[in-house]
Amino acid sequence: MACKPASTLLLSVLLSFALVPGVADGAEPLPSWNEGEAKQSILQFVESVTREGAPTFVAAAERIAVFDNDGTLWAEQPAYFQLLFAVDRVKALAPKHPEWKTQPPFSDLLKGNLKGVAASGEPGLAKILAATHAGITTDEFAASVAEWTRTARHPRFQRPYTDLTYLPMRELLGHLRANGFKTFIVSGGGADFVRVFAERIYGIPPEQVIGSYGGLELRKGADGKLVLMKLAKVELVDDHAGKPVGIQRFIGRRPIFAFGNSDGDQQMLEWTAAGDGPRFMGLVHHTDAEREYAYDRKSHVGQLDKAWDEATARKWTVVDMKKDWKQVFSAP
């Protein structure tokens, strides 16, 4: 990197502050972000697309921002939280399914043999998802997720999972919305799962949550009322190349701002980058084993390898959690 004299650097930092909306009148945006390239790249991008008359100005209707959820807006270790929900759900349902005692992967799961569960591979995972995410109505499923978010505790932090959102990212969502952006979640997780709490913890309403989804069937319930049954058939895996598909299907226009943290987000970032006009692409890099977790190229959960190389080559913003964030989670 070429070095600038300190005075020039100072001047450019001061200038960029003067240009940021809201700073002049005292409401400093992104207070949990340390000063640095990541914070500045965000503030400068938002300023550039909202300044009327600027060649980089983008009409409010086109200010679409998309965020991955697991590892980008909330934690994803020691395993995706939805998987931990499924594990808890199997345990809760086990008394009604005595046959699970001898049927893998349920038998392994109930004995706490998670290596055995992992060895069952995709077919095993599909069985667990079918048993916990299908064969019930959408209302029943939402109620079971809501109950779990109230009662379950993260094994390391001993807090509700919905407490483990990243404060700096929630500030970013707010800063974007204050500047006319519409914020969407584009998650590899299930849309029906994330929608239960997205409005409460992120301020993102259900209709702006895109995720993986399965079949639905309209039926008459026992009381004659209509219900929608969740079927085991998966219809969209909203990950990797499925993310641009989900974005097009649900939003119908291309985002100008995208944030992820893993290789599963690479195509979403590429799809965002491939549009015309100003674009912002960002990645959260998990570098903070003390306050959160440190993992990247070799991780089984949230692997960040190819997307990181592409981000470096294309000068996308990479957030170094340890260096860039003053605080990770809200105080308990």
Please report, as ranges, the residues that interact with its own copies according to CB under 8 A. Answer: 61, 64, 138, 182, 191-192, 195, 199, 205-209, 213, 216-218, 225-226, 228, 235, 241, 244-245, 248-253, 267, 270-271, 274
Least Å distance, CB 91 to its own copies, is 27
Least Å distance, CB 316 to its own copies, is 15
Which residues neighbour 218 within 8 Å (Cβ) at sequence distance 6 or greater? 226, 227, 228
Query: For residues 75 and 196, which CB has a smaller minimum distance to its own copies in the complex?
Result: 196
Least Å distance, CB 314 to its own copies, is 14
Least Å distance, CB 132 to its own copies, is 19
What's the chain look like in SS3? CCCCCHHHHHHHHHHHHHHCCCCCCCCCCCCCECCCHHHHHHHHHHHHHHCCCCCCCCCHHHCEEEECCECCCECCCCCCHHHHHHHHHHHHHHHHCHHHHCCCCHHHHHCCCHHHHHHCHHHHHHHHHHHHHCCCEHHHHHHHHHHHHHHCCCCCCCCCHHHCECHHHHHHHHHHHHCCCEEEEEEEEEHHHHCCCHHHHHCCCHHHEEEEEEEEEEEECCCCCEEEEEEEEEEECCCCCHHHHHHHHHCCCCCCEEEECCHHHHHHHHHHHCCCCCCEEEEEEEECCCCCCEECCCCCCCCCCHHHHHHHHCCCEEEEHHHHECCCCCCC
Least Å distance, CB 189 to its own copies, is 14
Q: How far apart are CA 212 and CA 195, in angstroms?
A: 12
Least Å distance, CB 288 to its own copies, is 33
Query: For residues 154 and 182, which CB has a smaller minimum distance to its own copies in the complex?
Result: 182
Query: For residues 78 and 205, which CB has a smaller minimum distance to its own copies in the complex?
Result: 205
Query: For residues 166 and 193, which CB has a smaller minimum distance to its own copies in the complex?
Result: 193
Q: How large is the greatest C-alpha to C-alpha distance in the chain, in angstroms? A: 75
Q: How far apart are CA 100 and CA 249, in angstroms?
A: 38
Query: For residues 157 and 213, which CB has a smaller minimum distance to its own copies in the complex?
Result: 213
Query: For residues 65 and 90, which CB has a smaller minimum distance to its own copies in the complex?
Result: 65
Least Å distance, CB 300 to its own copies, is 25
Asked if 180 and 60 touch (Cβ cutoff 8 Å), the reply is yes
Least Å distance, CB 259 to its own copies, is 18
Query: For residues 208 and 262, which CB has a smaller minimum distance to its own copies in the complex?
Result: 208
Query: For residues 93 and 216, which CB has a smaller minimum distance to its own copies in the complex?
Result: 216
Query: For residues 197 and 293, which CB has a smaller minimum distance to its own copies in the complex?
Result: 197
Least Å distance, CB 287 to its own copies, is 29
Asked if 311 and 318 touch (Cβ cutoff 8 Å), the reply is yes
